[in-house]
Amino acid sequence: MSEVLLADIGGTNARFALAAPQLDAPLRADSVQVFAVADFPSLADAARHYLDRVGAAPGEAVFAVAGRVDGDEARITNHPWVISATRTGQALGLQRLRLVNDFAAQAMAVSLLQPEDVVAIGGAPWRGGDGDGDRTYAVIGAGTGLGVGGLIRRDGRYYPLQTEGGHVSFAPGTPEEIEILQRLSGEFGRVSNERLVSGSGLVNLHRALSQIAGEDPGPLQPADITAMAREGDARCLRAIDVFCAVYGAAAGDLVLTLGAWDGVFLPGGLVPRLMPWLQHSGFRQRFEHKGRFSPAMARIPTLAVTHPQPGLLGAAALARHTPS
C-alpha cells in the first residue's frame, strides 16, 4: 500500500504528515511538519507547500478539519477557509481525499494511544485500548476551540463519533460562574462551553473576572495569562482555576451523554500548557460531582493526551479504515 497524505487542520495551525496504513504504527513521525494557516490562502496551497517540501506524491489523503463536515464541504470554525474535498483533491492530484471532523481523528487516535501517551488526571487507571470487549470513550479537547467527540468499539472495530458538542450551552455551577455567565451573555448573547474552555475562552474568563472586580484588563492573549499565572498573578490563577473546573464539569456531562464509562481523553493544544494547574485544580471534583452518579463517575479515568500529534495519529488510524 502506498503512502497516504494526512492533515490536521485547526484554527491556528495546519499539521501534515505521511502514513503507511499497512504498518502497526502507521504514522511516520519523521514526516510531520506544522504551518500557520494564516500563511496560506487555502488548504490546497498549504498541502502543496508541504508535498513540495517533502518530495512526496501520494494518491490518497485523510484530512481532519476543525469544523463541521457537510458532504463534500467543510468550514473551519475559527478560520475563514472553506474546504471542498473534490476541488482540493483535484488541485493536489489525489485519487481520493477523505474529509473528516478533527475530533473524529482525535477520537480514532485513542485506538493507537499507548500508556506513555497519556497522563491521568484522577480516577481509575486506564486499562488501555487492547483486549477484548466493547468500549465507549469520550474525547473533549481544549485548544483554539473546544472539540468534542467519542469513540465506540464494538466487536473489535472502532467507530468515531463526530460532534459539535463544544457549542453546547454553558451551565454555571457556582455563584461566581453565574456572574461570569451574566458578563459573557451581555457580550455574546448565547454562551457555549467553548466561550470559556478554549484559548479565547481563557481570555474571556479573565476579562469577566476583571470586570466583576471593576477593572479593565486590556488586550491579552492566552499565553499572557498563563505566563502571568506562573509569576503568581492572582486573577490569572483564578481564571485558570475556573477554566479547569468548567472543563471538568463539561467532561463529566459528556460521559453522561455518551455513556462513556470506559474513560475520557483530553487532547488539545491548551492541555499540556495547563497541566501543572489541571492536575491540582477543581477539574476532577467537578467531573465527579454528578449527584446520584457521583460514585460511578469517581471510577472513570480522565486522561490528558501528551502524544505530540494526536490528530495526525487519528488520521493515520482512519487511513487504515478508508473503504477501498
The predicted pLDDT at position 131 comes to 63
The predicted model gives 88-95 an average pLDDT of: 95
Residue 50 has pLDDT above 50, yes or no: yes
Q: Per the annotation, where are the binding residues for ATP?
A: 7-12
Co-location of 88 and 139 in the same domain: no
Co-location of 301 and 152 in the same domain: yes
* Surface-to-core class of residue 190, CB atoms within 10 Å of its CB (0-12 exposed, 13-18 middle, 19+ buried): exposed
Co-location of 102 and 125 in the same domain: no
Q: List b or e across 127-162, with b for residues whose CB sees 16 or more CB atoms inside 10 angstroms.
A: eebeeeeebbbbbbbbbbbbbbbbbbbeeeebebbb
The predicted pLDDT at position 320 comes to 85
7-11, 195-199, 293-297: segment of lowest average pLDDT: 7-11
Co-location of 46 and 137 in the same domain: no
**Cβ neighbours of residue 42 under 8 Å, at least 6 residues apart?**
81, 83, 88
Co-location of 235 and 315 in the same domain: no
Distance separating alpha carbons of residues 99 and 117, to the nearest angstrom: 26
The tens digit of pLDDT for each residue in 199-230 reads: 999 999 999 999 999 999 999 999 999 999 99
Nearest to 288 by CA among 258, 257, 323, 245: 245
Helical pair 270-278 and 234-258, crossing angle rounded to 10 deg = 110
Residue 322 has pLDDT above 60, yes or no: no
The predicted pLDDT at position 127 comes to 67
The predicted model gives 128-134 an average pLDDT of: 71
| Cell numbers 491548551: residue | 270
Query: How many domains in the chain?
Result: 2
Co-location of 58 and 180 in the same domain: no
Q: Are 265 and 311 in contact (CB under 8 A)?
A: no
The tens digit of pLDDT for each residue in 223-260 reads: 999 999 999 999 999 999 999 999 999 999 999 999 99
Co-location of 99 and 129 in the same domain: no
Co-location of 89 and 190 in the same domain: no
Co-location of 102 and 174 in the same domain: no
DSSP string, 186-245: HHHSS-BGGGTSSHHHHHHHHHHHHHHTT----S--HHHHHHHHHTT-HHHHHHHHHHHH
Residue 181 has pLDDT above 60, yes or no: yes
The predicted pLDDT at position 324 comes to 42
| pLDDT over 70 percentage in the chain | 97
Residue 176 has pLDDT above 90, yes or no: yes
Residue 122 has pLDDT above 90, yes or no: no
* CATH label of the domain that carries residue 77: 3.30.420.40
- Residue 298: give the domain boundaries: 114-306
Co-location of 132 and 274 in the same domain: yes
* CATH label of the domain that carries residue 266: 3.40.367.20
Q: Per the structure block, which three cell numbers stand in for 323?
A: 473503504
Q: Per the annotation, where are the binding residues?
A: 7-12
Co-location of 200 and 103 in the same domain: no
Average pLDDT score over the chain? 92
Co-location of 64 and 89 in the same domain: yes
The predicted pLDDT at position 129 comes to 60
Residue 105: alpha-carbon gap to chain centroid:
9
**Cβ neighbours of residue 61 under 8 Å, at least 6 residues apart?**
4, 5, 6, 7, 47, 89, 92, 94, 96, 97, 98
